């Protein structure tokens, strides 16, 4: 069953059939109706290979996801898929290993698959510097800012990681915490961790103190297992900590387990803060105080920008940050005698 059959059955030529199928102008109402009738009758579906061969590729969008453990990415994928579907566009998600080269992989896909554009969830600047120039279609990076990478044609939407980390430290500081451990992604491959760490350092300075990186910072991947191990190392090394700030909820959950295993009650003996505001963080015992990244907005801004770029509306790359929110829940204890704890949430982010 191909377009010629439809042409024959409807009494029109393949050209006309193709035109109604693609909603091109210049087809009589009669022809359109007749063709659609036949199409419906026989359940005809055009062959996408042939179609794209002619239309020079540009099939769908590709969502490149770095790692499968990051629950925040799950939320973003879900939203983004919906958004693409609304815009009547196809999107394919490709998972790439946390330490694999997502950009090289995308460059390869670009060659063989000709997607209309790429949406990156997470990304390593080194990889981008390495092979981004081999990608010829619009790209958007999410959760990471690409500002200052010097890459034209790459827009990015992210949380202001530095400000968010500062807000966390400020909150902890207000609650009387001074010795704060930090659990974070590997600085070499995770720029977000770099930014969050910078925020931590800056916040300490703002309070006239100094963050002891060597002693208080323990890098790790974004998984519960890694968070658990890292927390164990950190707690071993610095047993006088009153609080721990993890650069991901998933890490925080691993740390919660580790703290418990070492006999610390959270938050009674040690306070804990996460990052991301992923679903689980609200069901843990205790509920996790965390920075909520706006997955929905991140997805929306990213998809919109990508769509606009592929439609040639605006070629200029933009770098925006999306508001975050410090969710004060149960995992932080105030060390102060009578806490005049401020209201409910700290918001942040410039756009």
Half-sphere exposure of 210 (CA within 13 A, CB side): 4
Binding mask 99-118 for DNA (x = CB under 7 A): --------------------
Binding mask 22-61 for DNA (x = CB under 7 A): x-xxxxx-xx------------x-xx--xx-xxxx-----
Q: Which is nearer to DNA, 22 or 342 (CB)?
A: 22
Indicate whether 285 belongs to the interface with its own copies (CB under 8 A): yes
Residue 282 to residue 71: CA distance in whole angstroms: 13
* Pairing relationship of beta strands 345-348 and 324-327 according to DSSP bridges: antiparallel
Residue 30's binding partner out of DNA, its own copies, none, with CB under 5 to 8 Å set by partner kind:
DNA
Residue 131's binding partner out of its own copies, DNA, none, with CB under 5 to 8 Å set by partner kind:
none
Residue 248 to residue 222: CA distance in whole angstroms: 7
- For its own copies (CB under 8 A), the number of binding residues is 39
CB 75 within 8 A of CB 295: yes
Q: Minimal distance in Å, beta carbon 8 to DNA?
A: 11
Residues 6+ apart with CB under 8 A from 92: 60, 61, 62, 63, 115
Show contacts with its own copies in window 225-284 (CB under 8 A): 225, 228, 253-254, 256-257, 260, 279-280, 283-284
Indicate whether 299 belongs to the interface with its own copies (CB under 8 A): no
Indicate whether 15 belongs to the interface with DNA (CB under 7 A): yes
Q: Minimal distance in Å, beta carbon 64 to DNA?
A: 23
Q: Which is nearer to its own copies, 37 or 78 (CB)?
A: 78
Q: Minimal distance in Å, beta carbon 296 to its own copies?
A: 14
Q: Which is nearer to its own copies, 155 or 290 (CB)?
A: 290
Show contacts with its own copies in window 80-99 (CB under 8 A): 81, 92-93, 95
Q: Which is nearer to DNA, 44 or 95 (CB)?
A: 44
Count of CB atoms situated within 10 Å of the CB of 339: 12
Q: Contacting its own copies (CB under 8 A), which of 42, 53, 206, 344?
A: 53
Radius of gyration of the chain measured on its C-alpha atoms: 25
Binding site for DNA (CB under 7 A): 2-4, 11-16, 18-19, 21-22, 24-28, 30-31, 44, 46-47, 50-51, 53-56
């Amino acid at each position: 069953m191909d377009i010629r059959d439809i042409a024959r059955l409807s009494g029109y030529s393949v050209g006309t059939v193709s035109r109604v199928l693609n909603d091109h102008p210049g087809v009589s109402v009669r022809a359109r109706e007749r063709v659609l009738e036949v199409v419906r009758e026989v359940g005809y579906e055009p062959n996408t290979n042939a179609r794209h061969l002619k239309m020079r590729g540009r099939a769908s969008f590709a969502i490149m996801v770095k790692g499968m453990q990051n629950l925040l990415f799950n939320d973003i994928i879900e939203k983004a898929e919906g958004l693409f579907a609304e815009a009547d566009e196809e999107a394919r998600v490709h998972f790439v290993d946390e330490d694999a080269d997502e950009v090289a992989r995308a460059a390869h896909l670009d060659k063989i698959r000709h997607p209309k554009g790429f949406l990156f969830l997470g990304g390593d600047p080194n990889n981008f510097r390495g092979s981004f120039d081999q990608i010829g279609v619009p790209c958007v990076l999410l959760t990471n800012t690409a500002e200052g990478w010097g890459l034209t044609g790459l827009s990015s939407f992210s949380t202001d990681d530095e400000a968010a980390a500062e807000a966390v430290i400020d909150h902890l500081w207000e609650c009387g915490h001074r010795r704060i451990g930090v659990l974070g992604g590997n600085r070499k491959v995770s720029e977000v961790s770099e930014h969050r760490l910078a925020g931590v350092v800056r916040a300490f300075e703002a309070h006239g103190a100094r963050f002891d990186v060597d002693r208080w910072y323990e890098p790790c991947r974004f998984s519960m297992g890694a968070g658990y191990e890292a927390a164990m190392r950190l707690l071993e090394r610095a047993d006088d900590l009153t609080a721990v700030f993890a650069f991901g909820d998933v890490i925080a959950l691993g740390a919660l387990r580790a703290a418990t295993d070492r006999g610390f009650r959270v938050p009674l003996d040690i306070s804990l803060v996460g990052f991301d505001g992923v679903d689980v963080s609200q069901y843990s015992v205790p509920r996790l105080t965390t920075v909520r990244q706006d997955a929905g907005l991140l997805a929306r801004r990213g998809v919109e920008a990508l769509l606009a770029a592929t439609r040639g509306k605006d070629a200029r790359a933009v770098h925006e940050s999306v508001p975050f929110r410090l969710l004060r829940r149960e995992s932080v204890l105030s060390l102060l005698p009578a806490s005049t704890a401020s209201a409910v949430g700290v918001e942040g982010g410039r756009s």
